[in-house]
Amino acid sequence: MAQVIATRYELVEVLGRGGMGAVWRAHDRTLDREVAIKEVALPSGLDEAQVERSHARTLREARSAARLDHPGIVTVYDVVEEDGRPWIVMQLVRAEALDAVIAREGPLPPRRVAAIGLDLLDALRAAHAAGVVHRDVKPGNVLLPRGRAVLTDFGIATLAGDETLTQAGAIVGSPAYLAPEQARHQKATPASDLWSLGGTLYAAVEGRPPYRRPDMWGLMAALLSDDPDPLERAGPLTPVLHGLLHRNPDERLRPDEAERLLRQVIDAPPAPLPYALHVPRDVTLPRPVPQPTPPPGPGPRGTPPPRPARWALIIPAGVFSVALLAAVVAIVVFVNGGGESGDGPGGSRASGGPRTGSAASGSGVPTGYERFRGSEFVVAKPKGWTTDGSGDDVTFKDPSPSVIRGIAIQRPSLGLGQNSDPGDALATTATQFKNDSSSYPEYRQESFTRHIPYLGDRAAELQFAFTRNGKPARARVRLFRLDGALYLALLVTEQKNWDASLPYFETFLSTLRKAS
């Protein structure tokens, strides 16, 4: 015989169970409609006073959830008591939960995750405007009916300003998606929901929660002291995830900025092919034209044989999680320079080789270098090297026809700011390089350093080797902050020029300063 709650709701089947109880599909006999009913389960061992407080909290929070009227929030219809415990009657949404979708499909595409994020963000804004904090945003509480995302289970939500009725010392919420301040038993706020939103989107695009630890103790310790694990698949979602998952709630991304970054992901054109780079600055990159292999000997009218095709550094679509793509596109231009024969390995008729031991009198610039001023920085560049670009997006190239090498400095402009961690961004990039064998054939990571003291802050550095058109090449990338803004410096050379080129890069980094 079917169980009937409050002489009205007939329980049909269990839809799911969790730490806070079970959810049933039920039939409302009075209105002849299907509903979802949450059976609130209390932990064992509570005394009578604790049970009363827990019931009071559930009733109050169900009433707070019933105040919310938004298409992105599952509607609460009723709350009743049966068998000495509360039952929350809700709208029945026939849809799969996000955690089930992730389990079945694996990591989801960034654009799809961004669309889910916009729906959830809109729902949370409505809840926060009504003074309601969810406190348990997670993939299991996100339902995905066709074309939209809906937030459910406000069963542990709280009215902002209400006295907490939760048992002292208890952790309310799912630890894997808990904000650090909640883990410290501080009051949950709208910013806490935004952290959990970031964790939910992280799980959707990466296929796992922000912290991968073997047990609950390790998870809680990481939540209290560590940054989330580095992103690998987030691509253009990286800036918004870094912003939402900032450990300090006061510096966490605000809803308006989160919305802007999510819409930027959705509105962006499809990722181009490696040779069809989208460059958000005034740089022209011609499509490489295959070069026929010339026959040996002089050409018509005694002209010398054409030079072999110059090797090119191909920047893969989505590199640096899209936000840093513009920062390295210029490298395609300067690496296409250089030639084959001339002064031999490491030679440079223009600069005559690096000199780092002495400074020109009164200038503070080492001998063999000259001062360059960008919009926000000054630096010593090798004397005689050509300059491409201006402001804070500049490439310096050795003009010698026998050498292929250059140094670039760029300021990313697509969402990475002072809250972005250089180590996370560079770790994501290293993974993308490794997985993109077509763009970096024979890619070999040689070193990765997450924390390098630099300019009063910390930087990250990646060094790797690869082969292009049969020519061994190497690169070193440093990501750092200068006066709160994120910058990138990059050295790229042929393998044969590597040792002779490193002093140029070291001098470049050591002389870089904020412009006064």
Q: What is the CATH number of the domain that holds 250?
A: 1.10.510.10
Orientation of helix 190-206 relative to helix 255-267, angle to 10°? 20
Residue 363 lies in a domain: yes
Structure tokens at 324: 């840093």
Residue 277 lies in a domain: no
Q: Which of 91, 124, 150 marks a domain boundary?
A: 91
Q: Which of 267, 282, 298 marks a domain boundary?
A: 267
| Count of positions (residues) in the chain | 516
Structure tokens at 496: 């044969």
With tokens 């952790």, the residue in question is 171
Give yes or no: residues 420 and 494 share one domain: yes
Give yes or no: residues 233 and 318 share one domain: no
Backbone angles phi, psi at 100, to 5 degrees: -70, -35
Residue 281 lies in a domain: no
Give yes or no: residues 319 and 259 share one domain: no
The whole-angstrom separation of Cα 110 and Cα 263 is: 11
Give yes or no: residues 80 and 102 share one domain: no
Residue 299 lies in a domain: no
Exposure of 296 by Cβ count < 10 A (0-12 exposed, 13-18 middle, 19+ buried)? exposed
The whole-angstrom separation of Cα 270 and Cα 135 is: 35
Structure tokens at 453: 């003291």
Give yes or no: residues 318 and 462 share one domain: yes
Orientation of helix 255-267 relative to helix 110-129, angle to 10°? 150
pLDDT of residue 433: 66
Structure tokens at 290: 């295959």
Residue 251 lies in a domain: yes
pLDDT of residue 412: 64
0.75 cut: is pTM over it?
no
The whole-angstrom separation of Cα 265 and Cα 271 is: 11
The whole-angstrom separation of Cα 358 and Cα 181 is: 51
pLDDT of residue 43: 60
Residue 290 lies in a domain: no
For residue 353, CA distances in Å to 344, 384, 463, 511 come to 12, 11, 22, 18
Give yes or no: residues 215 and 135 share one domain: yes
Q: Binding site for ATP, residues?
A: 38
pLDDT of residue 469: 63
Q: What amino acid positions are annotated as catalytic residues? A: 136
Q: Which residues pair with 16 in a beta bridge?
A: 23
Q: Which amino acid does the sequence have at 282?
A: D
Strand ranges across the sheet with 444-454: 386-390, 393-397, 405-410, 485-494, 471-482, 457-468, 444-454
Give yes or no: residues 154 and 10 share one domain: no
Q: Which residues pair with 370 in a beta bridge?
A: 381
With tokens 């491409």, the residue in question is 388
Give yes or no: residues 510 and 486 share one domain: yes
pLDDT of residue 111: 93
Which structural domain, as residue segments, surrounds residue 39?
Answer: 4-91
pLDDT of residue 301: 44
Q: Could you tell me the mean pLDDT of each successive run of 10 residues in the chain, 516 residues long?
A: 89 79 89 90 69 75 80 88 84 90 92 96 94 89 91 63 37 70 82 96 94 76 82 92 92 94 86 35 35 43 39 35 34 42 36 47 75 90 84 81 83 52 75 62 82 88 78 85 84 87 93 88
The whole-angstrom separation of Cα 241 and Cα 18 is: 27
pLDDT of residue 419: 52
Residue 113 lies in a domain: yes
The whole-angstrom separation of Cα 185 and Cα 182 is: 5
Give yes or no: residues 104 and 82 share one domain: no
Q: Is the dihedral of CA 395, 396, 398, 403 positive or negative?
A: negative
Give yes or no: residues 105 and 48 share one domain: no
Q: Which of 91, 114, 129 marks a domain boundary?
A: 91
Question: Could you tell me which residues come within 8 angstroms of residue 208 by beta carbon, excluding any fewer than 6 positions away?
Answer: none
Q: Decide: 206 and 232 in contact? Cβ < 8 Å.
A: yes
Give yes or no: residues 452 and 503 share one domain: yes
pLDDT of residue 27: 95
Residue 230 lies in a domain: yes
Q: What is the CATH number of the domain that holds 34?
A: 3.30.200.20
Considering its fold, how many domains does the chain have in total?
3
Q: What is the CATH number of the domain that holds 319?
A: 3.40.1000.10
pLDDT of residue 115: 95
Residue 88, H or E segment? strand 85-91
Give yes or no: residues 326 and 419 share one domain: yes
